[in-house]
Structure 1
Amino acid sequence: MRHTVTMSPDSLWGLPQIRAVCLMAFAGISSFAVMLAALPVWGVGHAVPAHLAGTITTVMLAATVLTQVVSPALMRRFSLRGLLVWGLVLLGLPAPLYLWATALPGLYAVSAVRGVGFGLLTVTAALAIQVAAPPGRQGEAIGLFGLAGAIPTMIGAAIGAGLTLSGNFGWVCVIAATPLLGLAAARGVTADGTAPGGAGESLPMRIALRRLVVPVVLLFAATAAGGAVITVVPLELTGSARAALVLLVFGAVTAYARWRIGRFTDRRGHRLVPQTLTVIGAAGMAVAGWGFAAASVPLLLAGAIGTGIAYGALQSVTLDLAFSRVPAGQAPIASATWNAFFDAGTATGAAVFAAVAAGSAGGAGSMLVGTGLFLLVGLATVRSALAPWLERRRGPGRMEP
């Protein structure tokens, strides 16, 4: 369990590498977020069947996950700066091609290339933040990094949905090319900053991955729910202003929760925090389902708040837990595994929940599936969260999950 530490009053934003990585992440995630809600709507508007609309995001995230699987080896061979640069280029440069690639195969192809870039960016940026964080402030640094990603997610999802639903997808493509502007911040990342590895303590791969199970399963549930909200809301709400409002509130709550939770866990530890967040998330999804069934925007906004708290806070909490459960030399494995489950969850939410919404269950049914997923994962991980307390009652303690 993490104990209370004395915190320096200095802002982490003053550290050059943290500032540079946050700016690069902001640019890259802006590109991803603005397309996340826009692409399914754009595809449906060009004869893509509604039940396949979410698969455009799924293809991109499948390419992302495959890239993340091989990223630990890449991070040991190439500099963190170089991988961040390539990630931004592959993410931003192909974005305008969506204007011409309107059939499903073309949408898949562009999304796959962008997925490789997104995979490089997300894994490398998460590790670069962890490496640059001062001792005892990892949670705060991860929260700041999370804010850099959550703000464009908040703005991008709402703007992307609103522009596309109002017939202005061209501007979405312009915004999606902004990772190229993020290249200017690359000089703030040390050129020789490769990932830690080789020396020091190292766990067998099987044990290292087993230690990561609880954080990444919790993360999967959260990101599946987030992917469901971002994809289903613009498909179910016919008015662009209503969809944009719900996504804006969802994104704002996500950003705040992801930012603030890190300082709390630095001081108080993680015990039962993730499980509490799954209950909040389940309640939010249930209320959102009620909102779809009753065609009530206020209920949808209330559901977006509850789901956004869980979605945002669990991202920071689970990343912090993942890094804390393996030796420093295996941090690339923790980063890659966390990011792979993040994107796998988002892809599942985009495809599966959109398919449920397109059927007879509608948006209400898809949100109820999310409620069940949150509750199932929360209950399944309670024993792991209480393990340190149970061990102290029997004898010497062990590391907190």
Structure 2
Amino acid sequence: MAVSSRGSVASLTAAVSLGVAVFFTLYSLIPITRADEPGLSSAFVGTMMAFVMGVQVFTPALVRRFSLRFVLMGAFALLAAGALVTGCAANTPMLLAGAVASGSGFGTLIVAGAQGVALLVAPDRLGRSLGVYGLVTMAASSLGSPAGVQVALTFSSPAFGVSAFIAGLLAIGLSLGIPGAVGRGSAASEPYAGRSRGPRTLVSDVPWLIVALLLLSVVLLSHGLSSLPVLASAFGSAATVVFAVQGGNALGRGLGGELEARIGVRATAFGGALLLAAGGALGVLVDGMAGAIASGALIGLGVGIVQTVTLHATMRRMEAGSASVVWNLAVDGGLWVGGILWGLALSAALVVPGVLVFSALVLLAGVAAAIQLGGTGRTRSASA
């Protein structure tokens, strides 16, 4: 049940936007600034993503116990501290300590953020609201992430760390705009809450083909955020490519909610997969900065559409907290696998065949998921 005003949704969205911008800067920062150490890049991203995923399953219970506002404030504090340690790290243990703190904070805030939208918005407006939420948070990242990378490259990594710490403090302040009681004891009143949610029921409720499409799509997004900027650095600015990916992602997140309402869930899902696969192939088959920028924009646009459609579809099938966990595990699982995979692919000069394989897999998964999405939408909307 929606319990709060537009101001609360705005505070939530603004706070999460800052956190997303800091996190995606960290995700791209080490591969770009330590391009001569791809093994270290894989270790950092792999460690960070392991902790992102490790904390997510506990987040809905924390929100029910302590409230949405309290959990978000703690998550932003962890992310800010982790970014500061990462930026100032003088050795590998410090770098990995920053990855642990950053990953734990981001994993908590990203699940709580999506769950918060469902708690604050009426069910009949949830699809478009998720699209707007995704648009704003990724738009902030599309500006903040390249800016963070550029700060580190132009000045120093510690300068980025201090800037990210300040952003985390601002996010904590914005979280105060969410009423203190929101989320506490919320499981019974969440939209689309269904029958008992034991482990077996939870697993049976997961729309697996949709989750597979999301995971494969985010692996390609990881290429756009890590290995594609490295390849493009031979022709121009790596930060420009990161901006193209994040800008496309922001547009896709908003467009996904609108397209779903206008042309249907199946066409929207397949269209997103098609754009994503085309962008992946373009970036490795066409040389030059223009090709890299176009590739990044298409990758971002496609994955943004896929993210919005799959999040809404999962929330139609499961209660909001569990749906946010499943969706974010798929997203962050893709970032985890991709962060390790593309670092190793760069080391072995296998980025081109790897991207082509994943582009084909995304296209196949798009066809399969579109079929399941059609059935899922009719089943849950009839009962919602």
TM over 0.5: same fold?
yes
Stretch moving more, 371-380 or 122-131: 371-380
Residue 288 of structure 1: CA displacement? Answer: 0.8
1:254 equivalent to 2:249? Answer yes
1:51 pairs with one of 39, 48, 73: 39
Aligned to 2:269: 274
Task: State how far apart, in whole Å, the 1-side matches of 2:256 and 2:35 are.
Answer: 37
After TM superposition, the structure 1 = structure 2 runs for residues 3-82 of structure 1, keeping only pairs within 5 Å, are 15-44=6-35, 49-82=37-70
**Identity over aligned pairs, percent:** 23
Task: State how far apart, in whole Å, the 1-side matches of 2:27 and 2:126 are.
Answer: 29
Residue 302 of structure 1: CA displacement? Answer: 2.1
Contact 2:82 2:97 in 1 (8 A): no
Task: State how far apart, in whole Å, the 2-side matches of 1:385 and 1:312 are.
Answer: 17
Aligned to 2:226: 231
Contact 2:209 2:365 in 1 (8 A): no
1:307 equivalent to 2:299? Answer yes
Aligned to 1:187: 176
Residue 175 of structure 1: CA displacement? Answer: 2.8
Amino acid aligned to 1:337: V
Contact 2:38 2:346 in 1 (8 A): no
Contact 2:139 2:247 in 1 (8 A): yes
Residue 273 of structure 1: CA displacement? Answer: 2.0
Contact 1:61 1:347 in 2 (8 A): yes
Task: State how far apart, in whole Å, the 1-side matches of 2:215 and 2:194 are.
Answer: 28
Aligned to 2:359: 371
Residue 333 of structure 1: CA displacement? Answer: 0.8
Task: State how far apart, in whole Å, the 1-side matches of 2:331 and 2:38 are.
Answer: 24
> Secondary structure at 1:38's aligned position in 2?
helix
Task: State how far apart, in whole Å, the 1-side matches of 2:178 and 2:346 are.
Answer: 43
Task: Spell out, residue by residue over 1:46-82, the C-alpha distance to the aligned partner (whole angstroms, 9 max, x if none).
Answer: xxx3234133122111101110022222222111110
Residue 241 of structure 1: CA displacement? Answer: 4.5
Normalized per residue, the structure richer in helix is: 2
1:105 equivalent to 2:105? Answer no
After TM superposition, the structure 1 = structure 2 runs for residues 78-93 of structure 1, keeping only pairs within 5 Å, are 78-93=66-81
Residue 234 of structure 1: CA displacement? Answer: 3.1
Give 1 or 2 for the bigger CA radius of gyration: 1
> Secondary structure at 2:89's aligned position in 1?
coil
* TM-score computed with the length of structure 1 as normaliser: 0.85
* TM-score computed with the length of structure 2 as normaliser: 0.88
Contact 1:215 1:319 in 2 (8 A): no
Stretch moving more, 49-58 or 185-194: 49-58
Aligned to 1:340: 329
Task: State how far apart, in whole Å, the 2-side matches of 1:50 and 1:201 are.
Answer: 45
1:95 pairs with one of 73, 83, 93: 83
Task: Spell out, residue by residue over 1:221-247, the C-alpha distance to the aligned partner (whole angstroms, 9 max, x if none).
Answer: 221111111011233233595212222
**For the structure 1 residues 298 and 140, does the alpha-carbon distance in structure 2 shift closer, same or farther, using more than 3 Å as the test?**
same
Amino acid aligned to 2:238: A
Residue 364 of structure 1: CA displacement? Answer: 2.4
Task: State how far apart, in whole Å, the 1-side matches of 2:172 and 2:156 are.
Answer: 26
1:202 pairs with one of 177, 192, 195: 195
**For the structure 1 residues 148 and 398, does the alpha-carbon distance in structure 2 shift closer, same or farther, using more than 3 Å as the test?**
closer
Contact 1:95 1:173 in 2 (8 A): yes
Stretch moving more, 34-43 or 123-132: 34-43
Aligned to 1:122: 110
Tell me how large the CA RMSD over aligned residues is.
Answer: 2.5
Q: Which blocks of at least 5 consecutive residues in structure 1 are unaligned?
A: 1-12, 390-396
**For the structure 1 residues 336 and 313, does the alpha-carbon distance in structure 2 shift closer, same or farther, using more than 3 Å as the test?**
same
